[in-house]
Amino acid sequence: MGKHCLVCHGGWRRLSRRARSAASTLAPLWMAAALCLPVPVHAEFVTNGQLKDWLAEAAKRGGSFKDTTLALGFVSAVHDLHAGEEICAPDRMRARELLQAVREWMRDHPDLWGASGAKTVRRALSDKYPCNMSPDDNTSQ
């Protein structure tokens, strides 16, 4: 780096008081301008096809880290949203076991997939771990 780098060579301290004041005054304006820039905002729904692909990668030894992480996050989020109401999985259930349960359910029930990946996960986990069972019955599945 050359000696023009303000951070590397203590240049901020070497600036005149007037220059530091001007920079400090302009910083909030630049921040406000950046916040006003148009940014596309829309919800992206996870399709059953995407979910199926993520689950397939997660099931592979050495599968895609990105897809495995997406599957874990997505299935865990749906589980957490409905836990105790519609989904009553055992307390010490591992996230990978949830992925396996959803993957198996999707394989066995393609005709029952929901309109979105979230609805499919909710249906799969509520079928596998319904809340109307006694705790003893739930642990045997």
Two structure tokens written together for 87: 């989904």
Q: What is the CATH number of the domain that holds 130?
A: 1.10.890
69 and 13 in a common domain? no
52 and 28 in a common domain? no
91 and 28 in a common domain? no
124 and 105 in a common domain? yes
130 and 65 in a common domain? yes
Residue in the structure block whose two tokens are 């990105």: 66
pLDDT digits (tens, 9 = 90+) for 92-137: 888 889 999 999 999 999 888 877 889 999 999 999 999 975 555 5
89 and 135 in a common domain? yes
The predicted pLDDT at position 136 comes to 55
Q: Provide the domain limits for residue 22.
A: 1-41
Region for 40 from its dihedrals, namely left if φ exceeds 0, alpha if ψ lies in -120 to 50, beta otherwise: beta
DSSP for 115-137 reads: SSHHHHHHHHHHHHS-TTS-HHH
Whole-model pTM: value is 0.62
134 and 118 in a common domain? yes
